[in-house]
């Protein structure tokens, strides 16, 4: 019995020893795992620090900027060609924009359908050449100029024209206006929401501070540009199904086959209020014409009211460059052509001052073409003031037609 008790005691001791060894082994594994994890984390941390340090050094040395420039080198804003940097930086960031919108290809229609430059409008009244569909809209003075102010209530206005219930937009037309953009969005409907039926398809162009949208088509301004809290020139061209739209000099929408037929115009600002009003001025709807060269050969001249100047002087406005780029292209492709540039005005103001102004404006256009590379011996200029009206001087559309520049074959 004594020997049996001894054997049992030995057996129990052995079992306890094995359990103690297992505990020690597990503790060793745990310590090893903990130390290994700590080492891995420390190495990862060191690696991330090294990577971040290298990135900061890259930024300070300008290497990353050069790479960004190379990636964005194909994004060209329509400015003077010589602005592009030799380092591959897009020309929009190399220096401030200039007058010459060298890639602007918008050419306004030459037959005025509707024009409103807000001359003679009374501050605080509803704009006389428009009709109200919804909200609150009134005349105002902003920056020393008459404007239409969209105040609140989701304002919507439509041109007040004869027979506005029928399709008054031709197969080739253009729409232009200047827009002051506080934020959010502004919408152009291509039908009269008060007098016409809703068309099938996406019928509105949404303008945001940095982009345009029409149905599934949308595009942003390059180089993170924005028109928030500043004036922008909005241009829309429609040619037998194709629609193009621009913010300033940049074309953002180009739809080859529009899914609906434009029949009219509505300007709409859903988010306008007294604290953030939207402003619009210089609205024009015009019917397009034939290409410049064909017109020149057929008529011996090109008549354009798309060349714009600041009020009362001969300073070219940037949106004039669409026309001037086309004239430059025609003269470059046909070096035998020589033209006389003739300025005309409407009848507002003094006749002698209008004559002088028309001469100065014609000279400005001539000098601009010379600066673009057209030889001076192919150009001449003169002004005729208000003496040769193209349309009646008793309507806004007639006056707009009279404020023109002609390029006459010599």
* Model pLDDT for residues 369-390, shown as the tens digit of each residue: 999 999 999 999 999 999 999 8
Strand partners, 116: 283
CB 401 within 8 Å of CB 321:
no
Lowest pLDDT segment from 74-88, 101-115, 172-186, 363-377: 74-88
Q: Where are the alpha helices (DSSP H) in 62-151?
A: 63-71, 91-94
**For residues 190 and 267, what is the distance between their CA atoms, to the nearest angstrom?**
9
What residues does CATH 2.60.120.560 cover in the chain? 103-289
pLDDT at 98: 54
CB 155 within 8 Å of CB 269:
yes
Checking DSSP bridges between strand 266-268 and strand 278-287, what pairing results, if any?
unpaired
**What would the pLDDT profile of 262-282 be if each residue is shown by its tens digit?**
999 999 999 999 999 999 999
Higher pLDDT, 30 or 64: 30
Residue 198 structure tokens: 């809703």
Confidence of residue 290 (pLDDT cuts 50, 70, 90): low
pLDDT at 41: 44
**What would the pLDDT profile of 4-15 be if each residue is shown by its tens digit?**
555 545 555 454
**For residues 77 and 221, what is the distance between their CA atoms, to the nearest angstrom?**
9
pLDDT at 3: 52
Count of other CB atoms within 10 angstroms of residue 92:
22
**For residues 159 and 114, what is the distance between their CA atoms, to the nearest angstrom?**
8
Q: Please give the backbone phi and psi of residue 90, each rounded to the nearest 5 degrees, phi first.
A: -55, 145
User: In 117-196, at which residue ranges do the beta strands (DSSP E only) sit?
Assistant: 130-142, 145-159, 172-181, 186-189
Residue 410 has pLDDT above 70, yes or no: yes
Spacing of C-alpha 127 from chain mean position? 26
**For residues 233 and 247, what is the distance between their CA atoms, to the nearest angstrom?**
6
Residue 71 has pLDDT above 70, yes or no: no
Residue 46 has pLDDT above 80, yes or no: no
* CATH topology classification for 290-410: 60s Ribosomal Protein L30; Chain: A; (3.30.1330)
pLDDT at 178: 97
Q: Please compute the mean of the pLDDT values over residues 239-250 and round it to a whole number.
A: 94
What residues does CATH 3.30.1330.60 cover in the chain? 290-410
- What is the rounded average pLDDT for all residues in the chain? 81
CB 232 within 8 Å of CB 249:
no
pLDDT at 245: 97
Q: 103-289 in CATH: which number?
A: 2.60.120.560
**What would the pLDDT profile of 392-403 be if each residue is shown by its tens digit?**
999 999 999 999
Q: Please compute the mean of the pLDDT values over residues 236-249 and round it to a whole number.
A: 94
pLDDT at 6: 52
Q: Please give the backbone phi and psi of residue 320, each rounded to the nearest 5 degrees, phi first.
A: -65, -20
pTM of the model: 0.71
Share of the chain above pLDDT 70, in %: 75
């Amino acid at each position: 019995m004594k020997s049996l008790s001894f054997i049992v005691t030995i057996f129990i001791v052995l079992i306890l020893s094995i359990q103690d060894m297992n505990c020690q082994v597990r503790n060793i594994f745990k310590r090893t795992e903990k130390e290994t994890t700590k080492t891995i984390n420390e190495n990862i941390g060191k690696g991330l620090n090294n990577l971040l340090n290298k990135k900061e050094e890259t930024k300070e040395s300008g290497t990353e900027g050069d790479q960004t420039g190379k990636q964005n080198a194909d994004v060209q804003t329509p400015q003077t060609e010589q602005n592009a940097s030799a380092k591959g930086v897009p020309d929009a960031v190399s220096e401030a924009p200039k007058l010459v919108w060298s890639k602007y290809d918008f050419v306004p229609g030459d037959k005025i359908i509707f024009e409103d430059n807000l001359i003679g409008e009374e501050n605080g009244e509803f704009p006389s050449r428009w009709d109200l569909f919804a909200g609150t809209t009134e005349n105002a003075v902003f920056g020393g100029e008459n404007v239409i102010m969209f105040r609140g209530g989701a304002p919507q206005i439509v041109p007040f024209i004869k027979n506005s219930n029928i399709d008054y937009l031709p197969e080739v037309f253009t729409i232009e206006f200047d827009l002051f953009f506080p934020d959010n969005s502004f919408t152009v409907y291509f039908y009269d929401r008060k007098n016409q039926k809703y068309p099938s398809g996406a019928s509105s162009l949404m303008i945001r501070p940095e982009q345009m949208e029409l149905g599934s088509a949308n595009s942003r301004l390059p180089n993170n540009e924005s028109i928030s809290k500043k004036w922008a020139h909005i241009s829309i061209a429609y040619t037998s199904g194709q629609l193009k739209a621009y913010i300033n000099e940049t074309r953002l929408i180009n739809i080859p086959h529009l899914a609906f037929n434009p029949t009219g115009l509505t300007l709409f600002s859903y988010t306008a209020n007294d604290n953030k009003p939207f402003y619009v001025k210089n609205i024009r709807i015009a019917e397009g014409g034939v290409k410049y060269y064909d017109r020149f050969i057929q008529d011996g001249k090109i008549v354009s009211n798309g060349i714009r100047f600041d009020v009362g002087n001969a300073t070219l406005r940037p949106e004039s460059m669409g026309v001037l780029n086309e004239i430059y292209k025609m003269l470059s492709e046909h070096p035998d052509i020589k033209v006389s540039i003739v300025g005309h005005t409407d009848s507002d103001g003094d006749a002698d001052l209008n004559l002088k102004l028309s001469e100065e404006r014609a000279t400005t256009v001539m000098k601009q073409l010379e600066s673009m590379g057209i030889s001076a011996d192919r150009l001449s200029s003169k002004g005729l003031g208000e003496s040769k009206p193209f349309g009646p001087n008793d309507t806004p559309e007639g006056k707009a037609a009279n404020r023109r520049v002609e390029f006459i074959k010599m």
